[in-house]
Chains A and B, each alone.
Chain A
């Protein structure tokens, strides 16, 4: 039962990303060609709403379910890993038109080839983990 809320959040997430067309390969293509405002609108309003939520919760107006402060972990400092890792991620994102969330969601919409992509993404993550200490961060 304690996992039910996470299942429901996941279902909601999947529905929103399909209905918003954020899982559309074409929308990602259009975004990187600057031919549509749609994806910029989605990401922009998501961030604006997110900032609003976090600013309100920072003032202690909203607490977590356990009554604790709402907390976003701080990312480690660094530049290289963010820019290099980010570029590699972006190359893949634009090629297959899906980032990790949409990969799972598209599988649910019946895009079964996505299993290959997910398996490759798991392998890619494994390769990173194996090479981690040899990479510049």
Chain B
């Protein structure tokens, strides 16, 4: 039981993510989480304004059900399958984040400095969450996929466009973490 309650090592987690991809392909579908954002636009009537959202979203219901499951899975994992062990971060990371004003790094999945209600009700906090969401939503559709569609499915099927997209993900991520986050915090 300890093995389940403690954080899972990378060499167990990675192959299990591939199992998710394999199961969806086995069911005749594909693994792509960002497609749901487009589906939600379509459901809300975006097809009237842009042809990009004119498609039969009912064919995508299965993927929305995967999303619903993911929410439930997140709940189950934290409520029933976790102990109070901390994320085993590099001590250098913890010190670095502390100098930027982040307390108790690794005690939770996301920092209170970004995600707590107290952070959310400040103009800066709200702006960060909205900006982050906008960048992810815009960028993922522009690039035609996210981590699941490009990094996992695309690279597993040895597709060059996905390699280019993943290189882009990393360029953007490196710029944000190394150059922009230190300016924000």
Contact = CB atoms under 8 A, between A and B. Distances in A.
A18 B143 contact: no
Contact of A72 (B53, B110, B153, B169): B153
Interface of B: 4, 7-30, 33-34, 36-38, 40-41, 44, 46, 49-50, 52-53, 61-63, 65-78, 81-82, 87, 89-90, 92-93, 96-97, 105-106, 109-111, 114-117, 119-120, 126, 128-148, 150-159, 161-162, 164-178, 180-181
The A interface is mostly helix, strand or loop, or mixed, namely: helix
A116 B133 contact: yes
A60 interface: no
B138 A105 contact: no
Contact of A113 (B117, B142, B145): B117
A130 B50 CA distance: 5
A88 to B, nearest CB: 3
Contacts, number: 496
B91 to A, nearest CB: 9
Contacts of A100: 33-34, 36-37, 136, 140, 146-148
B109 A77 contact: no
Q: Which 3 A-B pairs have the closest CB atoms?
A: A86-B168, A10-B69, A14-B73
B102 to A, nearest CB: 9
Contact of A75 (B4, B93, B144): B144
A99 B146 CA distance: 7
Contact-residue bracket for chain A: 35 or more
B97 A29 contact: yes
A64 B25 contact: yes
Contacts of A113: 115-117, 119-120, 129
